[in-house]
Structure 1
């Protein structure tokens, strides 16, 4: 039996939520018994009709974690697969083999008491799965058995590929590290371009004010949170996908699944050098990587992509091939299954199905 221990799980939305939901389903479909121990649903949505057991835990953190630990101890699982080091703090005193995922951003705060908690949590794991080479670098000194497995994506809903001239699209939470402000700052030098941002977040008011300040408010659209069909339609209309991420204090992008979602539609990306985007976007092959904190680099990168249809076509085709070949669950699942067997070998036993 595999116990997935997670704070983040569908129907709540987010990259980790999607990854853990898809992982549970993939393990189940591969013939393993799966039980998910997850936090309460935060978005007010109903529990989906899962084909495996999903147990929810609410209340104050201490109480929630204590109840999870008791439930996990009673399961007698063969392997615990945790969404992050924080979930490892839920482990009972005696735990089976443990695999834990690392996403990047949560590893930046290692000072003081948090650093000690993190070290103790990772010490409980047999294997740590990093989502990018950048994240693996952050784990130096915290664990000796680190394996990089880039995450997979769920194929987006189909939509016609009808790129609109000069259309730049961004998807993601509206926060400073995403670099959407740098795209707005570039627009005055890109007279034929228009820009659509899909997402919500704390940076929206500042971004709206910036668009007005730069004199491009009429060319900037804030689509808000969108459903899957609208997201696919926007990507189908994009000439360029832009998310020139940068590090903001202790916040950084560990990978960037949205680059792959854009790639699925044959859209080249302008990505930032900070964090793990270099695993999601290959420089001069599937897009461009720039210093997301440098407005001139962002502007020049966008100008280069928008001015060269042949370049966009070449990069978009390469991005689409790579996304559909290397980042589906069918492509990534064998790596996760090998890690299950590897953790089993450490313990000298096998995983029950």
Structure 2
């Protein structure tokens, strides 16, 4: 049995989801006599300290998937509760080595912890790109488009990239920024400071079809993350989305990003190294059309092979089965 907060429950619906979840969980357990409950992130599993004794009387094993921020977020009191919640779990899956390490640092036993990556499935095949949208800029002939997708928060490094990297690049290199967030104002100020209004385009939030269109129109994906205390990048699903659409990725060599990028789909660069990012982008500009096409096909094939859900699901099933069959310690 899997309980998770769906995409439509994001935002203001999350508190309602969490309030209803204990009763939904108990009802499902009693109706279906489940063997294992797998929480899709640690956030709903934070309800376990008071619920675990009741669930265990039903013979249940308890598991969760740790993504990063659900482990590292919050003040000391929140961290204390996270440790208590981790202690209730019979098994834990970290989506990257960095996330798994964060769990170990909070006392979770290594013999009950596995590392399995996030996957990518049918969402993008089911959402064909739109043919026209006022929110997507017209691709100017002769330009080279770098694309970044994600929440506009400090650890994503977008304001830094605009301020430090874009001025080092030729005029025909443009940057499209998809997303929104509290750092949007700082990004706009960096654009104005560097007089880059004609080269940097914040697109805001896009629907799936529009986002698929930007992936197909872009030439290169960038993920210039910065190290921020207690705000880790546990994985980076957008790099899979970009790779599935054939985009090569330049990303900061840090945290969960290192489990996503290989020589097949991108390059890892030192965080805050503007010269390194600029040089790699210049190298991309020098590729021939055939070289870029081969690079694109290699990235898409590698992401499908390593992160396609059809290939990952047997590993997740095996992890669940190992927890289900382990001897009870309570």
Fold equivalence (TM over 0.5)? yes
1:124 aligns with 2:88: yes
CA contact (8 A) 1:211 1:220 kept: yes
Change in Cα spacing, 1:108 to 1:216, as seen in structure 2 (3 Å) is: same
Change in Cα spacing, 1:110 to 1:216, as seen in structure 2 (3 Å) is: closer
> Partners in 2 of 1:85 and 1:198 — Cα distance?
27
> 1:290, CA displacement in angstroms?
1.3
> 1:150, CA displacement in angstroms?
0.7
> 1:110, CA displacement in angstroms?
8.1
2:116 maps to 149
Give 4+ residue runs of structure 1 displaced > 6 Å after superposition: none
> Partners in 1 of 2:276 and 2:16 — Cα distance?
46
1:183 aligns with 2:168: no
- Choose from 41, 45, 54 the match for 1:94: 54
Q: Which 10-residue stretch deviates more, 270-279 or 71-80?
A: 71-80
Change in Cα spacing, 1:301 to 1:176, as seen in structure 2 (3 Å) is: farther
Show the 5 A alignment for 1:196-207: 196-207=176-187
Change in Cα spacing, 1:218 to 1:316, as seen in structure 2 (3 Å) is: same
2:304 maps to 324
Change in Cα spacing, 1:200 to 1:109, as seen in structure 2 (3 Å) is: closer
1:166 maps to 144
> 1:245, CA displacement in angstroms?
1.4
> 1:280, CA displacement in angstroms?
1.1
1:5 maps to 3
1:255 aligns with 2:235: yes
> 1:171, CA displacement in angstroms?
1.1
SS at match of 1:319: helix
Gaps of 5+ in 1: 15-39, 43-56, 349-353
1:136 maps to 100
Gaps of 5+ in 2: 131-138
- Choose from 45, 58, 73 the match for 2:16: 58
For residues 292-350 of structure 1, give each alpha carbon's deviation from its aligned partner in whole angstroms, at most 9, with x where no partner exists.
323333323322223334664444232111112222221111111112211221158xx
CA contact (8 A) 2:129 2:211 kept: no
> 1:213, CA displacement in angstroms?
0.5
For residues 31-88 of structure 1, give each alpha carbon's deviation from its aligned partner in whole angstroms, at most 9, with x where no partner exists.
xxxxxxxxx846xxxxxxxxxxxxxx728x6x55664565466444221111233422
